[in-house]
Amino acid sequence: MNSTGTQRLLIVITAPSGAGKSSLIGAALKSDAALRLSVSYTTRAPRPGEVDGREYHFVSEMVFIEMLGRGEFLESAEVHGFRYGTSEAEIGRERAAKHDLILEIDWQGAQQVRRLFPDCIGIFILPPSIEELERRMQKRGQDSEAVIQRRMAVARDEISHSPEFDYVIINKDFEEASQDLLAIIRAARLGTARQLAQHPELFRLGT
């Protein structure tokens, strides 16, 4: 499977919990009408304010395993004791509709997607420091101190995979990081291969 036929962007965004990934993606979606977010499936319970089908498709462990067995996931991984997966059918529908698609997934899923879509755009969001990351987790007030410490241990491992990505954004100032994300997306759309696929007639003007 590859994206050669559609030339639509497939943007993989990864970050440790608390780095601001979801907020940055939300701002990008509001600013750019051509972007869509792939809604992942998960076995974890919804957090306060989360809506099924908006943040995630919340399913049971049994349903997830059945979907996995049927080969319905483009990628899947276990993170913090819960399963997450991206629907291959949903990816196909959005790209057929000529949307640039964001996948908000972890580094394990990102590796799987890169194998299938070598031309995907990989972006890793880093916090300004590990201390600031812990402070943000505590400020959210969603997890106990024991859970936060487990997440911090996982975060260090996740950050070690950041060099695997095409771009790294340091989310120290939200507005600046938001503009950085949009700049990467805009630049990727101007790649020669995508421009040639979308506007072949313009490339013949000089012949």
pLDDT (tens digit per residue) in 46-81: 988 899 999 899 999 999 999 999 999 999 999 888
Rounded to two decimals, what is the model's pTM?
Answer: 0.88
Which pair of structure tokens corresponds to residue 110? 């990102």
Q: Where in the chain are the domains?
A: 10-198
CATH number corresponding to 10-198: 3.40.50.300
Angle at alpha carbon of residue 103, lines to 11 and 133, rounded to 5°: 100
For the segment 162-191, what is each residue's pLDDT rounded down to a tens digit? 999 999 999 999 999 999 999 999 999 999
Which pair of structure tokens corresponds to residue 91? 């990816």
Closest listed residue to residue 59, CA positions, set 77, 78, 46 = 46
